[in-house]
Structure 1
């Protein structure tokens, strides 16, 4: 007697194909989920960076506002400046030197300039005798910075630039000094 086959083989093939399809869909969904999670983490990182940059920019705007007030009023300049025993003109010059330095530092922090470009900007600023006087007069301000902090590393770059410029025997100041490793 012959056994009747009512499509068990066909059902088995269809079930296998369906199962294979379902596994494939699950693999694709899992891969998409991993990509989605990676993108979500990247977006969160960018938002945190943009938020930090926005806070830095807002702080710089406030600093510029206070500086503007101080430059316009010698009595306010005495409050903003921590350097004693300087005449009002020198105080305003030091405040402006500080503004130039903090502007360059902020440009680096928010990515407007890279480390090498910052070095070039600071090399220009260090040409000013008034900036050098300011830098020397505020040395004690930088003494409390954590040596590995970003601002301490930039300060060390300025110190090295001033030293290299002082030791240079060329009139081509724009080629003096190499930026330290970042």
Structure 2
């Protein structure tokens, strides 16, 4: 019997040691979980800060773009710097093209910072393309868009506008607002 009691005491000690070990492992896992959760929250905050900074940079760039275009629209000599069209354009037409560029770039900026969806951008483009001056601008700047990297967001949106323009030109009827299939977001 003495042997059985000693064996039982040994099992009890092993059970206690196992419980202590399991408790320690659970405590360590809980601590790791806390550290991981804390790191996840920090990464999320950094991502939000990064996105906010990106949006602020886009907005600042948009303001600078508008300032430069405004100067060129107000001064024919400065507008000559931006005359990179394959055809001759008058000073009046150049100012109109610069304004068309500002409208398009503004819609592009709104899309990039998330103020409008891709479908809303499509709607803006459909409206812009109703204006013959904007269409002329769009044709005149086709070589400019050809230099964009195909996979870039700007190239994709430009291609979407090109496709929409073809559809509008092929459409019969006056109901332009229903022409084209808005993209899925």
TM-score by length of 2: 0.84
Structure 1 residue ranges without an equivalent (≥5) = 3-7
Match of 2:182 among 152, 174, 179: 179
Q: Distance in 2 between matches of 1:34 and 1:161?
A: 48
Following superposition, the deviation at residue 20 of structure 1 comes to 4.2
Taking only aligned residues, the RMSD between alpha carbons, in angstroms, comes to 2.6
Does residue 118 of the first structure (1) align with residue 118 of the second (2)?
no
Paired with 1:117 and 1:180, the residues of 2 have a C-alpha distance of 9
Instruction: Quote the residue 1:67 is aligned against.
Output: 69
Shifted more, 82-91 versus 18-27: the winner is 18-27
Deviations 1:32-68 (A, max 9, x none): 2222222222222222222222211111110111111
Counterpart mapping for 1:44-55 below 5 A: 44-55=46-57
Would you say 1:127 and 2:130 are equivalent positions?
Answer: yes
Question: Matches of 1:176 and 1:31 in 2, distance apart?
Answer: 54
Q: Is the 8 A contact 1:81 1:95 kept in 2?
A: no
2:105 paired with 1:102: yes
Q: Which residue of 2 aligns with 1:39?
A: 41
Whether the 8 Å contact between 2:119 and 2:184 is mirrored in structure 1 is: no
Larger RCO (alpha carbons 8 Å, 6+ apart): 2
Q: Is 2:105 the partner of 1:88?
A: no
Equivalent pair of 2:100/2:137 in contact (CA under 8 Å): yes
* Equivalent position of 1:77 in the other structure: 79
Structure 2: unaligned runs, 5 residues or longer:
3-8
Match of 1:5 in 2: none
